[in-house]
Structure 1
């Protein structure tokens, strides 16, 4: 891909040059090996924009000065510069480009030549982060489908939402412990601080993904989830000022939707539910064993049901309230301008960006502004300084969750009008509310301001010994305010209210380390040793105020007297601080570039832990053998690289642990008017320690067939012990739980990355890159007291951790389908006691996929380039809480039977019907005679969420240099791009990707479908 971009850019270079003498030069370009013509090669006059392109016979013609020099380049070949006078002596021969093993790979606290890397490290370059390749506002989403072993799951289509990232599976039962460590230009990013949403993807130069423990161990206690190192763009010395502008505009839409029942279908379901209940009551009344008090209750229920049927007078209209909250063709816009350059001793890079989009669900919008400045100055022959500052400000205005709002409006039956006769929106009593009215009158505004700053000094003591001192700091400030109108349910009882919350987070990293590089004959040495200090500080505040009038937006509390006095009803104030430090060292040896050995050691400490467990050691070792450099393979034309490597390392995790969880805290309170102390709801555990992840990795890197085929294959086995979570304790202690190290998890699997490209020098070029990860996640031990622990989703399944199964499991009843005779669900009575309770529930793993991957296809012809990225996830499931909540035929606390998805049109209707959708019924029913029998948490709501998705597709055209050179434009590219064009899946819901960490789909906002047109110009 990089070669194709170089070719496309070079085709754009042209223009006029002035000289005293001009001549028409004719020449031919050929392959040095095959002596065949090289069509499409770029011939450029050095120091000028003037150039030409070879034809199918490899020939070119160009008007040049007599003393000119020509640079000739073509994808897959090495560049060559020749004097114009030599062109007439014979064809110019281009050599096949060798694999660039001398390029540097960013690793922890330094760089390393790719040829000597013995760890599992993948790189995503800036070319994959351009809008032409990815229509994303978040750099994390740009990783989707591009790196083997990296699973990026979008949490929904809300702008600014941070996706979940897992590298080689989940190594913790805590959601906070599964994400990788993010390092941006040396700054550690985690917790309530700067995230990838605050970084403009177009300001990123590269992202290195450290997947094995040997590469991540240098980050010690924070590296167990893997590490993503982000290097932002910098200027280059000895370069003229270069300007670039990239802008696009387009629209977002909802790719798929679920249909709700229309009026006729709703009426049928409503009446069926009550008639079926009346039939059940009739059987019960005819049963001579029915108690007298129950007969009285049943007779009262009969009268109520008959009045409901008689009172159902549906109007001749059908309103789909889910459809009504869609914002079709929601605008999306992005613009990025940058400037870079440098002199002999200094360089600079600066950029400004704006990204904006409207939500496709609801009426919200998201807007982000970014600015970046980076300056490097060589002071003298031993000191170089670098400073950088990145600023971000974003504002999200929307209803907190538009999908939830539509469901809260579910008593708005399909016969309800969108507007009243006078054009106004309807409002209803109590919780019955108009979804569009809620979105119009309730307001939400979340504003974020953040920055990342860096000051670095590089000191060269000798040619081999350098010292770096780097201070990195970040600030993250957010303020969220929700306004609930008194015309809507959430604001009725409070006569209008606001909920305000804010946080201010400051963290910094102070790194000081030496780097030593030396080659003694055949032995190469690379060593790093240093000390790092890290601090993170959080202040958070929140309060609620009542008594607000109806306002258009969010204002102060000054006019609240219309509905009563304004007063605070709840508030909180939080302060947390963590300090950590570490000593680290890494050394690497290579012999002739064939035999490789690397080792690292880090001693990490954190203020979260008490003295006895505060510090821990994290070692690693790795080795490699490049067989292609052995004499028996050296110089062969088939294999360019064949490196075997293996590693072992240990890394840690402390993120699941609260700031004060290791300590016993007492809260100030009062009792009978006297001051007192109260035990906290969580008992501190002074013995808790780090989570530790040990990982073994074995891999192979191969490049063959003239560098056209690349293969990277890894096998890994990593085990995490000391999982951090809450352990339930007896209430006699005055608290519900205590943090503890509860068990072990194992992830083992295979990563595969492959690339294959066409032969160089062809008019039509192509490249295929594919990657795949197969991972098995398993909980291998838990404390006995945690056999049945978990947290409930309100009304839904219980999250569950169980030995022998994966993280992200749920506790549900096992459904055996619908009884063809009764129409009710059949559940397995596992203990055969005739009762259906929690003793009959089973644990079902749903969240962890069996394998994931992606494939990128690139085709080039003349100035056109077509790229397509396909991603797939196989083997995961989702629990559809949407479906469960809309299966009740009872009048719920909203005051009416909810509308439902159209799947209930396939429901059981008469004895003998074979279907997987139970009958419509209200009241007690089924074998368990409970009101929720047919829609209790069970396997009937678990769906296969495997999918194959066209993630990105784009078509670009490089404008010929002859058309733009007079305008002093170096290059111009026009592109059209689309995202999420289609998805192949068996899942019947909105989006198989938009699920929570636990695999439960609640009111998650589906991902949008995007289409844009843009231009990329450089001057």
Structure 2
């Protein structure tokens, strides 16, 4: 209760006016009800949250303020007020927090579309890049850590994958600037390791909120780029009257989650080598005396993996007054990789500034600059660590690195490669915008924004002559340098109009014109045969053989008209209509423009008379939406006829010529996704339980596929709009306030996602597309594996005793590719789930987050290689129980020097897992201690990530995908940099 005034005043006519606002965000609360207690005198706030009414009620009296989803507040008025009275209400419901949507904000209670928000607790999690914050925190979002390389790529799917050849990543909108994260802009194309995540340049500690737009009603405002969902990132801003200085820091160590069981005993491997030769009709490689004299063996994984440190430091200045608000931050982050000589570093700074020149006109800027650097592991490192035999030492008798294995399959020394290869990526990024807002009239605001995204990437590679990879190119050292410069500019011009008519009709509308232009330039150069390794890549002219240089440039443009109208009646009934017209340079001249509409309805049942008086139901809202969004991420110049270069020899001279490699398609157009969503939002028991459920159906048509065409055209295929893919699913988000007392508080949040993907069509007469061990097949899900079914081991007396037996699917008496390969698994999970519990006791806080994936398969290509049992490379410890005539019940085949490499269900594993993803224990110093210092807040914490995983998967980690952001070939584990678990201690200080 708030008491104003100090003495009693007799009755008189009084005008009470002021504003009702959210106590956290300061956003005005439209339609809040004020009444003098035990009377009907009062008012309802307008579109700006303002109220005004006249009363003759005698002093003192009590104002009662109510607003759905907020705690009721009573204000005692003891005397006449000389100034306007601002009353701030505390949000008591997650369903009524303010969320960021495309080109504006809305209260969650007013949403008609499916929008999810990452919680404040999750945002505090220390991670390298922002996309990792989405895992397990938002229903309908699947996050796959493609590589454990520090700063490495992450793949995200919102409500499943829509495209086969196009992009499937969501659109990121960072402080209003749209960014598509395909990682290519942060990689110039010369390093021989996994790609670096472009979003790793953004400091996660700068983020204020993350909102995920999932259905067509929410994403259609982004038109041709909304089909894969939209992630809106808002960074921290200054607030008037809240001047603070904060310092955040943490230190930690990480180590590999798991290692793979391979032979590390020299004797065991030597015997395997002999068996493979004997079974192949050859003489043994080792004598029995040599085997008996062997001892120990090299554990190559132990030699390569380490306990790696990481640290983070950030200083932030925030504050301002009614005219100027600012937020300035600086960050340093460094992470060493669990593989020797790999790392990631980031220096970043941010400035968010806003200034009111007048009550009608304000300007602002959001600007961030970063410099990242990563030493990347060679693509072959992990594979060589597994395949290098234990009989090979790391160093020879002279102390030099062993060059390679001495057997028929040459494998370079992976430790020498790790220690000596320079494979570094450096990226500078400047991302920001400048905007101006002008209030043309009450409720009508114009905004003009200009932004840019500049990326300057340089990659340096040097492979010295002293290691296998360097000498294997018949040279004495190889150096390559790549550089890529990207400049994107954006101009947005919008009008936003809001009004309330008669306190019952609320209208919010936005319309505008935007344009964006992208241009990149890239170049690579290299040399071989250096006199010395000392200069590495720093002087290419000292190499006697110059590698063929490359250069290229690319650009695209997008112009758009957009509009959205939100209408609500009495906060009961809501209607949203959205439309966007996009013109893209990427498509054929007959289809440059596309229109993407959507509509949504919502009904707040708790506002109806039959529920308004309920003591149990705080919110009960039904939602229904439908619309069309597009996908322009298909590559550049695909609609145009192009030429490729070829090398010819005339009169003993090399001549460069050109030949057609693509025919034009003027009708090439968008991949279109039609999506329908039905949802319900419920809050009960005074908002102690909040539940959101969504069911959706998506159908993506006009997929861009390479379709066979007559050879008379000079080409075998052409890119055309043909295929159809569907996704349907169910999402659930639940948050509960379990216990809340003066000293103890316990809250829980739970998310559940289920998606079913299906290839509906691949064009006339096309039933499947095969890529390696993966297949896109009509009637099946994307991410399916294609191969043979194994049915045991041939026994003595059969055709090839000791070898693997495969099922004859078509019954023709022989095993063939065309007749006997079938779908043998799928990489897509049957469901995903996340569970977070937050506990607060006095000054202690504890957060525990579990994440689960069920039903997804992984093609374990590492295991496929380790089960070859050739004696030319290392093998799994399962080889110790291999088939022999005296061990016929074994499930492993016999050792044999030259077996065929077969894709079969033997190597498709269940990769379901339950993981203790994060646990954080913190302690905040008591206020009575803080008050004696200059500190405003001091908190210490200890934390751990990925510390426990329950899974049947036998690889390094079940969260894996060698092919990064590919949807067709997802779920393959082959030589991928392993994920890690970590422990850290941290400090948060506010002055």
**Under TM normalisation by the shorter chain, which class is it?**
0.7 to 0.9
Q: Which residue of 2 aligns with 1:557?
A: 539
Q: Which residue of 1 aligns with 2:4?
A: none
Matched, 1:852 2:828: no
Q: Provide the rounded CA distance (Å) in 1 between the counterparts of 2:675 and 2:493.
A: 28
Q: Provide the rounded CA distance (Å) in 2 between the counterparts of 1:730 and 1:905.
A: 54
Cα contact 1:124–1:206 (8 A) shared by 2: yes
Q: 1:314 to 1:473 in 2, by over 3 A?
A: farther
Matched, 1:369 2:342: no
Cα contact 2:461–2:537 (8 A) shared by 1: no
Q: Provide the rounded CA distance (Å) in 2 between the counterparts of 1:807 and 1:308.
A: 51
Q: Which residue of 2 aligns with 1:253?
A: 255
**1:176-227 deviation per Cα after TM superposition (whole angstroms, max 9, x unaligned):** 5211111111111014447321111111111110010111111001100011
Q: TM-score, normalised by structure 1?
A: 0.83
| 1:860 CA drift (Å) | 1.4
Q: Which residue of 2 aligns with 1:196?
A: 199
Find 1:571's aligned residue among 526, 533, 549. 549
| 1:569 CA drift (Å) | 1.6
Q: Which residue of 2 aligns with 1:408?
A: 384
Could you list the runs of 5+ residues in structure 1 that have no partner in the other structure? Answer: 1-5, 9-74, 85-93, 279-301, 892-896, 924-930
**1:446-467 deviation per Cα after TM superposition (whole angstroms, max 9, x unaligned):** 1011011210010101121111
Find 2:518's aligned residue among 536, 557, 571. 536
Find 2:436's aligned residue among 453, 457, 460. 457
Q: Which residue of 2 aligns with 1:145?
A: 136
Alignment of structure 1 residues 92-103 onto 2, 5 Å? 98-99=92-93, 103=97
Matched, 1:811 2:811: no
Q: Which residue of 2 aligns with 1:244?
A: 246
Alignment of structure 1 residues 218-233 onto 2, 5 Å? 218-233=221-236
Q: Which residue of 2 aligns with 1:66?
A: none
Q: Which residue of 2 aligns with 1:869?
A: 849
**1:235-281 deviation per Cα after TM superposition (whole angstroms, max 9, x unaligned):** 112x1420011100010111211122122321232233233334xxx
Q: Which residue of 2 aligns with 1:519?
A: 500
| 1:816 CA drift (Å) | 1.6
Cα contact 1:135–1:979 (8 A) shared by 2: no
Moved more, 673-682 or 153-162: 673-682
Higher relative contact order (CA 8 A, sep 6+): 1
Q: Which residue of 2 aligns with 1:1016?
A: 988
| 1:483 CA drift (Å) | 0.6
Q: 1:804 to 1:528 in 2, by over 3 A?
A: same
| 1:327 CA drift (Å) | 1.4
Q: TM-score, normalised by structure 2?
A: 0.85
Cα contact 1:820–1:914 (8 A) shared by 2: no
**1:94-150 deviation per Cα after TM superposition (whole angstroms, max 9, x unaligned):** 9996437654321111112222111000011444211xxx23111111111000001
Find 2:919's aligned residue among 946, 953, 961. 953
Cα contact 1:246–1:1017 (8 A) shared by 2: yes
* Number of residue pairs matched by the alignment: 884
Matched, 1:694 2:660: no
Q: Which residue of 2 aligns with 1:994?
A: 960
Find 1:739's aligned residue among 690, 699, 719. 719
| 1:501 CA drift (Å) | 1.8
| 1:339 CA drift (Å) | 0.5
Cα contact 1:78–1:97 (8 A) shared by 2: no
**1:722-779 deviation per Cα after TM superposition (whole angstroms, max 9, x unaligned):** 1123334566544453222231011001000001112433422211100001111000
* Equivalent position SS for 1:885: helix
Find 1:506's aligned residue among 462, 474, 487. 487
Q: Provide the rounded CA distance (Å) in 2 between the counterparts of 1:602 and 1:728.
A: 34
| 1:482 CA drift (Å) | 1.1
Find 1:827's aligned residue among 795, 798, 806. 806
Q: Which residue of 1 aligns with 2:748?
A: 768
| 1:558 CA drift (Å) | 6.3
Q: Provide the rounded CA distance (Å) in 2 between the counterparts of 1:971 and 1:374.
A: 23
Q: 1:440 to 1:80 in 2, by over 3 A?
A: farther
Moved more, 566-575 or 482-491: 566-575
Q: Provide the rounded CA distance (Å) in 2 between the counterparts of 1:973 and 1:768.
A: 22
Give the structure with the higher percent strand: 2
**C-alpha RMSD of matched pairs (Å):** 2.7
Matched, 1:922 2:897: yes
Cα contact 2:317–2:329 (8 A) shared by 1: yes
Q: Provide the rounded CA distance (Å) in 2 between the counterparts of 1:938 and 1:622.
A: 47
Q: Which residue of 2 aligns with 1:664?
A: 641
Q: Which residue of 1 aligns with 2:7?
A: none
Could you list the runs of 5+ residues in structure 2 that have no partner in the other structure? Answer: 1-21, 25-68, 79-87, 187-197
Q: 1:211 to 1:478 in 2, by over 3 A?
A: same
Cα contact 2:479–2:537 (8 A) shared by 1: no
Matched, 1:629 2:607: yes
Q: Provide the rounded CA distance (Å) in 2 between the counterparts of 1:215 and 1:168.
A: 14
Q: 1:733 to 1:499 in 2, by over 3 A?
A: farther
Q: Provide the rounded CA distance (Å) in 2 between the counterparts of 1:586 and 1:83.
A: 42
Cα contact 1:377–1:386 (8 A) shared by 2: yes
| 1:471 CA drift (Å) | 1.1
Q: Provide the rounded CA distance (Å) in 1 between the counterparts of 2:329 and 2:73.
A: 30
Q: 1:76 to 1:602 in 2, by over 3 A?
A: closer
Find 2:684's aligned residue among 675, 681, 704. 704
Q: 1:914 to 1:531 in 2, by over 3 A?
A: same
Moved more, 812-821 or 749-758: 812-821
Cα contact 1:76–1:761 (8 A) shared by 2: no
Q: Which residue of 1 aligns with 2:122?
A: 128
Q: Provide the rounded CA distance (Å) in 2 between the counterparts of 1:939 and 1:102.
A: 49
**1:354-401 deviation per Cα after TM superposition (whole angstroms, max 9, x unaligned):** 110111023211111110001101011221101121011110024334
Q: 1:787 to 1:868 in 2, by over 3 A?
A: same
| 1:428 CA drift (Å) | 4.2
Q: 1:95 to 1:650 in 2, by over 3 A?
A: closer
Q: Provide the rounded CA distance (Å) in 2 between the counterparts of 1:916 and 1:381.
A: 78
Matched, 1:936 2:926: no
Q: Provide the rounded CA distance (Å) in 1 between the counterparts of 2:131 and 2:865.
A: 32
Q: Provide the rounded CA distance (Å) in 2 between the counterparts of 1:383 and 1:219.
A: 27
Cα contact 1:481–1:554 (8 A) shared by 2: no
